[in-house]
Structure 1
Amino acid sequence: MADQVITLRLRIQDPFPGVAYSLQNRKSEPVGQVVAGDEPISFEVPVRVAPGPKLHGDFVRSEGAARRFVYIAIGEQAGQRPSPWSRRAKIDIHLLPAELLDKALAGGVLEALLPGKAKDGGPACATLRPIGAWRVVE
């Protein structure tokens, strides 16, 4: 069985205005930079699903045998120079429920709503937990 591709939508609810955000590929290069305003921003991430399920692709990173995640780069790490910020947000995807993966494989998009602000007042970084559960959208 060949790998199938699904789309993950990472939606930042309240990004830090004026700060650049991007996906970060496996080479740690910024891809798809967006400078945030007052509205939510989102990134569409193609992910290949292999039997198991195993998730991989140009933006999927790994730690150990099982952990899979996607990085969102912020500020300088997203290619914005100069920027007072140089951060990354890690979004875990290895624990996505099989039923959601199945719905995405049938044509839906898996969406996570993410926080944009950290407790220190800057852009949210480190491991981000979705606000609410992942959901399938059309």
Structure 2
Amino acid sequence: MARTNETEIRLRILIEQPVPGVLHSLQGKDEAPLDPKQSSAGEALAFDFAIRVAPGPKFFGDQVRREGPERRFVYIRIGQLAGDPASPWSRRMKIDIHDLGPDLLDGAMTGRIIETTVLGTAKDGTPACATIRPINRRLVPR
């Protein structure tokens, strides 16, 4: 249940150039795969979800993970972890959200979506994993 000082905002993770045929999903609170999808020919995958923001800023929600007192991030599960037992990969992307700037947060609080774009294929041609740096962050209409 949200506290009165928390505001719900919408985020979108856009995975550009994912490895075709590899299942991706959000990781929920119970670590189960959420909204699994795969690219058939390398087209982008989009995951939309809500989080709550409190002053600080502090981030809360079923997809929000924490590491230490400051770092907050979202996991994208890949291959076996996304629900495909036949996949040769069992990986996760870690996408930081604690570094969202005040301009993005302010825009999201007016109803827009913060869209974070990441590359889905590593230099070796396999699914990208570990901490993934965004190639773009922007506000988009709902």
1:18 aligns with 2:49: no
| Alignment-derived partner of residue 67 in structure 1 | 71
1:9 aligns with 2:39: no
1:131: how far off?
1.1
Q: 1:122 aligns with which of 122, 126, 131?
A: 126
Q: 2:30 aligns with which of 13, 27, 31?
A: 27
Q: Percent identity?
A: 51
Verify the 8 A CA contact 2:19 2:125 in the aligned structure 1: no
CA-based RMSD: 1.0
Q: 1:101 aligns with which of 87, 102, 105?
A: 105
1:6: how far off?
0.7
1:2: how far off?
3.2
Segments of 5+ residues of structure 1 without an aligned counterpart are none
Segments of 5+ residues of structure 2 without an aligned counterpart are none
Question: What TM-score comes out, normalization by structure 2 length?
Answer: 0.92
Aligned-partner Cα distance in 2 for 1:14–1:49 = 30
Deviations 1:39-67 (A, max 9, x none): 11110021101122111100000000110
SS in 1 for 2:46: strand
SS in 1 for 2:125: coil
Verify the 8 A CA contact 1:10 1:42 in the aligned structure 2: yes
Aligned-partner Cα distance in 2 for 1:60–1:31 = 13
User: What is the correspondence of 1:75-90 to structure 2 with a 5 Å cutoff?
Assistant: 75-90=79-94
1:50 aligns with 2:66: no
Verify the 8 A CA contact 1:15 1:37 in the aligned structure 2: no
Aligned-partner Cα distance in 2 for 1:108–1:75 = 31
Question: What TM-score comes out, normalization by structure 1 length?
Answer: 0.95
Aligned length: 137
Q: Which runs of 4+ in 1 moved over 6 A?
A: none
